[in-house]
Chain A
């Protein structure tokens, strides 16, 4: 059997997730042992239109990018969304909170805002444009999880991505809970798989992996009350990576 061909494409993002692939160091050579990377603009000059697995980094913010993504989808057997920008729209979705996108443009471009080439549309995650076969969550992705997912796909197995929240991994690490230290941590409603990296470093979970399937936002409200905080403290944290996504907090 010939090695599957992998192509990596980037859209609107910081390219930090591709960087994590580079950061695999020696393991990257292992990956290259199991698959041929045929296109990867950030790291190599080769280009190719034939591939089995397309890895998509970044979110979709322009019509022309939607077209390009659809073309990639039509060529690839498996399409992977890599990182928060691709899986949930990531930080780029913050701009969707402005009801009027013109306002966004004005804020950055001032009087030039109406030039036609500045056309932008609300940020979309990859699966809002095409079908996605596998998700690698996180901002940036977790290298261990990425390699696990790649091995699964190369083996024809569906990777097991946690359905449970970050607290599970946080507790397994033996961390004291950050809420007790005054931080508004989104751990209880965000999908695990990162090894509770942020809470383990004393930094609240800000939700880069997206919500679990069935987050209990009512409970979150209760906790806000318990710690004498305001619901806005929670909302403003949830908006960072969760703009215009379910669940929304009312009240």
Chain B
């Protein structure tokens, strides 16, 4: 006799945005397994229409509060590509520092505040304060560092204001950078300590794998574990694809059960995110980051979505270690006050960076005056929706016997491990409520 399981998680908690999980199984027979997104649609592609190239970043940053720096960078790069603006090496490096701060912000938030309660069997981080005070303190400390880091370089923790097409509106002083570097050095051990804590409860991550195609950026010259430069790579494909050809990768398609646009390339679905970056670039991680990966036995080719949480931790270590080096380089070269002056041109191009939760594509077309006449945005969580569905389909039969609570718990954990940013993904989609 198989089990009868009815899971209906209306608005899964501890994720960014609104998503529903529906599983119906009667006597062991699965009738319905669905991942749904009922978030209110927000129409960003329409909202940027007619707006000046200067204001695109300000608008699209609001797609998502958690990856606002990423959206800002991707759109700014797209504008720069479309209009052929050069960006100085210094600006590029400072932007990467800015981008790293968001990786760290988002990853710590995700692993520390949203996932850790699952690992400790708690409903939220609030009761966790009593159970694991030191761990929570360490997490808060790292989160604060990430925020101050972003405050310093992006001007705010959310919705950056130091970016402009062609460069930056303000750069940190040498003294500020040195201060940041000191803090990063000081806190690298704290990060390792957090990894130890996660390792101690890592057994609570469900044991599940499914062969998956992983897609991320890859940078060849110089070979770098990249979040910002490079072209599109896949674990199923040897070469790389140019950013402007992103649509040949994403292949957005519509399915019956959902109006959310899904994506696929070589298989029915693919995954993006920290694990995808790891699977494409692991050998390029910083030494301590490699050591942390090893601690968890995380190796290239890993196909367990739950290991995305671990890959995020590994990346935290990587961005901190790499930033320490980058600041040295910046300071040795000396900071220059660059005057950026650009004027708009007509053009169309894509811009791409890695959001904490995976590869992000922006594409815009501008008229002569620099006003936007067309836009297309493809968000990482969107690219993961199909993969989440496919994971559901493989996982539910494997765990159905464990009962309703376990199914609900594990599916919630699965969704969370993708670190979905649903408010992002619904910039253009809407799904019916299934009651």
Q: Mark B130-163, 1 if CB is under 8 A from A, else 0.
A: 0000000000100110010000000111110110
Q: Which of A12, A58, A65 has the most CB of B within 10 A?
A: A12
User: Given A197-B155, A203-B155, A95–B13 Cβ distance below 8 Å?
Assistant: no
User: Which A-chain residue is minimally distant from B254 (CB atoms)?
Assistant: A112
**Which residues of the partner chain B approach A107 to less than 8 Å between Cβ atoms?**
43, 45-46, 49
B68 adjacent to A43 (CB under 8 Å): no
User: Which A-chain residue is minimally distant from B155 (CB atoms)?
Assistant: A201
User: Given A23-B143, A44-B14, A16–B158 Cβ distance below 8 Å?
Assistant: yes
**Which residues of the partner chain B approach A108 to less than 8 Å between Cβ atoms?**
41, 43-46, 428
Q: Taking the nearest CB of chain B, how far is it from the CB of A121, in angstroms?
A: 11
**Which residues of the partner chain A approach B49 to less than 8 Å between Cβ atoms?**
107
User: Which A-chain residue is minimally distant from B15 (CB atoms)?
Assistant: A42
Identify which of B120-128, B315-323, B356-364, B390-398 touches chain A. Answer: B120-128
User: Given A107-B49, A237-B55, A43–B14 Cβ distance below 8 Å?
Assistant: yes
Q: Taking the nearest CB of chain B, how far is it from the CB of A137, in angstroms?
A: 14
B62 adjacent to A22 (CB under 8 Å): no
A94 adjacent to B47 (CB under 8 Å): yes
User: Which A-chain residue is minimally distant from B44 (CB atoms)?
Assistant: A108
Query: Which of B14, B126, B140 touches A37 (beta carbons < 8 Å)?
Result: B126
User: Given A42-B16, A140-B156, A240-B58, A14–B63 Cβ distance below 8 Å?
Assistant: yes
Q: Mark A216-250, 1 if CB is under 8 A from B, else 0.
A: 00000000000000000000110110000000000
B169 adjacent to A16 (CB under 8 Å): no
A104 within 8 A of B: yes
A120 within 8 A of B: yes
B65 adjacent to A19 (CB under 8 Å): yes
A202 adjacent to B65 (CB under 8 Å): no
CA distance A92 to B62 in the complex (A): 9
Query: Which of A22, A94, A98, A112 touches B113 (beta carbons < 8 Å)?
Result: A22
CA distance A65 to B234 in the complex (A): 40
User: Given A14-B65, A14-B68, A237-B55, A140–B159 Cβ distance below 8 Å?
Assistant: yes
User: Which A-chain residue is minimally distant from B168 (CB atoms)?
Assistant: A202
B109 adjacent to A22 (CB under 8 Å): yes
A91 adjacent to B158 (CB under 8 Å): no
**Which residues of the partner chain B approach A202 to less than 8 Å between Cβ atoms?**
162, 169-170
A117 adjacent to B65 (CB under 8 Å): no
A19 adjacent to B62 (CB under 8 Å): no
B40 adjacent to A15 (CB under 8 Å): no
A161 within 8 A of B: no
Identify which of A25-33, A73-81, A126-134, A147-155 touches chain B. Answer: A25-33
B161 adjacent to A95 (CB under 8 Å): no
B381 within 8 A of A: no
**Which residues of the partner chain B approach A200 to less than 8 Å between Cβ atoms?**
155
User: Given A198-B155, A201-B162, A120–B14 Cβ distance below 8 Å?
Assistant: no
**Which residues of the partner chain A approach B424 to less than 8 Å between Cβ atoms?**
14
Interface footprint category on A: 35 or more
Query: Which of B42, B114, B147, B431 touches A23 (beta carbons < 8 Å)?
Result: B147
A166 within 8 A of B: no
B17 within 8 A of A: yes
A120 adjacent to B13 (CB under 8 Å): no
A11 within 8 A of B: yes
**Which residues of the partner chain A approach B44 to less than 8 Å between Cβ atoms?**
108
CA distance A104 to B50 in the complex (A): 12
**Which residues of the partner chain B approach A118 to less than 8 Å between Cβ atoms?**
41, 259, 430
B64 within 8 A of A: yes
Q: Mark A93-133, 1 if CB is under 8 A from B, else 0.
A: 01100100001110111001001011010000000000000
A105 adjacent to B43 (CB under 8 Å): yes
**Which residues of the partner chain A approach B51 to less than 8 Å between Cβ atoms?**
94, 236, 239-240
CA distance A23 to B113 in the complex (A): 11
User: Which A-chain residue is minimally distant from B426 (CB atoms)?
Assistant: A12
**Which residues of the partner chain B approach A92 to less than 8 Å between Cβ atoms?**
42, 47
User: Which B-chain residue is minimally distant from A207 (CB atoms)?
Assistant: B58
8 closest residue pairs by CB, A with B: A16-B65, A44-B124, A202-B169, A201-B155, A203-B161, A94-B47, A202-B170, A12-B40
25 A–B pairs (Cβ distance < 8 Å), ordered by A: A11-B40, A14-B64, A14-B65, A14-B66, A15-B64, A15-B65, A41-B11, A43-B124, A44-B123, A45-B13, A45-B124, A46-B123, A58-B40, A91-B58, A91-B59, A98-B46, A104-B43, A118-B259, A140-B158, A197-B161, A198-B155, A198-B161, A201-B161, A203-B155, A240-B59
A-B contact sample (8 more), CB < 8 A, given A14-B64, A14-B423: A14-B66, A15-B423, A43-B125, A46-B124, A58-B40, A92-B47, A94-B47, A202-B162
